[in-house]
Structure formats: structure tokens, C-alpha cells
């Protein structure tokens, strides 16, 4: 059984073996990728990362919205390795696009 903290690791593991690698959907400002499971069914995964969150939070600030949110923060990487810690820090820094929009301009 996996816990929520394992999901980013699973996401990146599947991304690394995907059939497409990381792709970008300009309309939704979000990354995505496709992968084939064991029976050959092609699946598509859409997600947010620091780049997409920065864009979305920046737009919210430009529009004068009073807040932003994310689906569930307990899915942020919590592993002890440096890669997880860098990704977690980058996700949190993305909030600066909303809280300090002029600092990023």
C-alpha cells in the first residue's frame, strides 16, 4: 500500500519511463505525459509542477484574486533524498508568484 507522500516519486518514476517524456499543454499551462501500462493501454497523466503553478499563481495575482490553493499538499515529496527536497522547495517557492508578484517580475 502506498501513502500520499510516495505519489510524487511514483509520478516521476512513471514520467522517466513514459512514451513521451514531459510535454506542455499551452492551453492549460500544465505539463503532462503519456505512458503504456503492461497490457499496452496508453494513459495520459496531467499534473502541476513549479513551472505551471508559478504561471497559474501569477495569473491569479494579476487578476486580483484573493487567494489560491492546491489540491493536496500532503502529496509533496517528503523523502530524505536531495531531489525530493529540491522539488518540494520549488513547489513552495511557486507561491511567491501570488504572494510577491512584483518580486518575480
Number of domains in the chain: 1
Measured between alpha carbons, how far is 71 from 44 in angstroms, rounded to an integer?
Answer: 19
pLDDT band for position 4 (50/70/90)?
Answer: very low
**Of 12 and 23, more confident:** 23
Query: Around 21, how many Cα atoms within 13 Å sit in the side-chain half-sphere?
Result: 0
Cell matching residue 95:
507561491
Where b means 16+ CB within 10 Å and e means fewer, 34-63 reads: ebeeeeeeeeeeebbbbebbbbbbbebbee
Cβ(11)–Cβ(45) under 8 Å? yes
pLDDT in tens, 14-64: 888 899 999 999 999 999 999 998 999 999 999 888 899 999 999 999 999
Residue range of the domain that includes 19: 4-104
Amino acid at each position: 500500500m502506498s501513502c500520499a507522500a510516495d505519489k510524487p516519486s511514483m509520478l516521476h518514476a512513471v514520467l522517466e519511463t513514459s512514451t513521451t517524456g514531459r510535454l506542455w499543454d499551452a492551453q492549460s499551462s500544465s505539463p503532462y505525459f503519456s505512458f503504456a501500462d503492461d497490457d499496452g493501454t496508453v494513459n495520459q497523466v496531467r499534473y502541476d509542477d513549479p513551472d505551471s503553478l508559478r504561471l497559474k499563481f501569477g495569473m491569479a495575482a494579476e487578476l486580483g484574486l484573493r487567494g489560491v490553493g492546491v489540491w493536496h499538499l500532503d502529496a509533496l515529496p517528503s523523502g530524505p533524498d536531495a531531489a525530493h527536497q529540491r522539488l518540494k522547495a520549488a513547489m513552495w517557492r511557486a507561491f511567491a508568484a501570488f504572494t510577491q508578484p512584483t518580486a518575480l517580475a
